[in-house]
Chain A
């Protein structure tokens, strides 16, 4: 079945350090992949989206590249800020007969120290 794996439950960095959050997925065909960010007490909001048409997404300094060979969709940022502290979810969009079923990864809690 479809699945998303985020192994890093928590990442702690200092400001201006490099961020890398690992995400792998399992599905058939060509998926649509998302990164959502959730701040405390709020609903998630879209950070970026990637499809097989563009392979790479970027937003607010964050980048993610879709690699079908390794079925990975890692999130990166060259230099984090304290305001980036939040929970980041890798999300597999639905398709075909499961077009409306969306799968969230376990989430990675990012703490950025000033």
Chain B
């Protein structure tokens, strides 16, 4: 069975500090990977997607970057956090493109003060 793990579960960070969030998928080879951001009470905004190791496409610019260093790992990061980065970050995977079901991780709650 496939499992998706996100770390950390929650973070409280200061404005201007760096950030790194991680996501690991086990039990699935070469998945498509996605990062989403959700403001409190808001909808999901797709940030990045990756269909293979080393290749990441940006969907929306929010002063964030993403990398896929391994087949089963997806990293979201920034050098300087903004207040507007607060929210819920979700990682997801799918077998194929946008017409396939996406499986979401448990998410990371980020609070920027």
Contacts and interface: CB of A to CB of B under 8 A. Distances in A.
Given A42-B107, A43-B92, A43-B107, A99 B44 contact: no
Interface string B12-32: 000000000000000000001
A95 B43 contact: no
Contacts of A105: 43
Contact of B101 (A49, A99, A103, A107): A49
Interface string A33-70: 01000000111111001010000000000000000000
B73 interface: no
A110 B101 CA distance: 22
B99 A104 contact: no
Nearest to B36: A104
Contacts of A100: 32, 34, 49, 51, 57, 97-98
Interface string A11-22: 000000000000
Contacts of A51: 99
Interface in A70-100: 89, 93-95, 98-100
A50 B24 CA distance: 29
Contacts of A106: 42-43
Contacts of A42: 104, 106-107
Interface of A: 32, 34, 41-46, 49, 51, 89, 93-95, 98-107
Given A46-B101, A94-B99, A101-B59, 17 more contacts: A42-B104, A42-B106, A43-B92, A43-B104, A43-B105, A43-B107, A46-B102, A49-B101, A93-B99, A95-B97, A95-B99, A99-B97, A101-B98, A102-B34, A102-B102, A104-B44, A105-B43
12 contacts: A34-B101, A42-B104, A93-B99, A94-B97, A94-B98, A98-B98, A100-B57, A104-B45, A104-B46, A105-B43, A106-B42, A107-B42
